[in-house]
Amino acid sequence: MDIHKILTLCDHTLLKPDARWEDIKELADEGIYYNTASICLPPCYVRKAKEYVADRIKITTVIGFPHGNQTKDTKVYEAKKAIEEGADEIDMVINIGALKSGDTDYVLDEIKEVRKASEGHILKVIIETSLLNDEGKLIMADIVSKSGADYIKTSTGFTGGGARVEDIKLIKENISDELKIKASGGIKSIEDAEKLLEAGASRLGTSKIVKICKANDKR
């Protein structure tokens, strides 16, 4: 697959806890230069980043990040605030403990509430595949399909696991036709990106693809 096409499907990401504004500016400059789908950054930088990029690139931010165990009301507030400050897309983490406790009604209701709060903006739901068995992944494929969200997303990248081709295939076979997949976490090469896209992902969350392109440009 053409590298330029892959870049247009990447959310160029920086979510490290020690990320400085200088780092966010660099992220934005890279995302604009390489024409990525968006830049994904911490909520505290959304307003400043929006002022910096204007309409040159879309801004994605995260809520309930990285563990997902904030209250439902907190996540709704985070989503509303992020959009008010300029976020174009929202990536939310589910309440993984509630899911593992069998409280699927809570998980679905929480996503629906965040969907309402983010109406008119793309919503991606992070299910943290590395913490789920196949049954849990299938349950979440069904829940997110019913929620009104735009994407189901594999990972935060903070639990030691990431996107796997077999998970993308499993999810793809068990979601609604309207729901898309964002593969995120552990994408370290162009080959990784190609395999995940071929398996059924239509968006990638990664910081590595732009770095690879930058390194190639310097040669």
The enclosing domain of 178 has a CATH number of 3.20.20.70
**Contact present, 182 and 212 (Cβ < 8 Å):** no
Each residue's pLDDT tens digit, 123-165? 999 999 999 999 999 999 999 999 999 999 999 999 988 899 9
Give percent of the chain with pLDDT exceeding 90: 96
Please say if the pLDDT value at position 219 is more than 80: no
Predicted TM-score (pTM) of this structure: 0.97
User: How confident is the model at residue 31, as a pLDDT?
Assistant: 98
118 lies in which domain range? 3-217
User: How confident is the model at residue 93, as a pLDDT?
Assistant: 98
CA dist list (Å): 39 to 4, 7, 12: 16, 11, 5
Task: Tally the domains of the chain.
Answer: 1
Please say if the pLDDT value at position 218 is more than 80: no
What does the DSSP 8-state code read for residue 126? E
Angle at Cα 78 formed by Cα 44 and Cα 126, nearest 5°?
95
Each residue's pLDDT tens digit, 200-215? 999 999 999 999 999 9
Alpha-carbon radius of gyration of the chain: 16
Least trusted range by pLDDT, from 4-13, 59-68, 139-148, 159-168? 159-168
Each residue's pLDDT tens digit, 81-94? 999 999 999 999 99
CB atoms within 10 A of CB 105: 10
Residue 77: alpha-carbon gap to chain centroid: 18
User: How confident is the model at residue 161, as a pLDDT?
Assistant: 80
Q: Token pair of 171, please?
A: 């999810």
Distance in angstroms (rounded) separating the CA atoms of residues 84 and 170: 36
Residue 203 has phi, psi (to 5 degrees) of -145, 150
CA dist list (Å): 163 to 61, 183, 186: 19, 5, 6
CA dist list (Å): 43 to 78, 88, 157, 188: 8, 12, 17, 25
Span 22-45, average pLDDT = 98
Residues involved in catalysis: 91, 153, 182
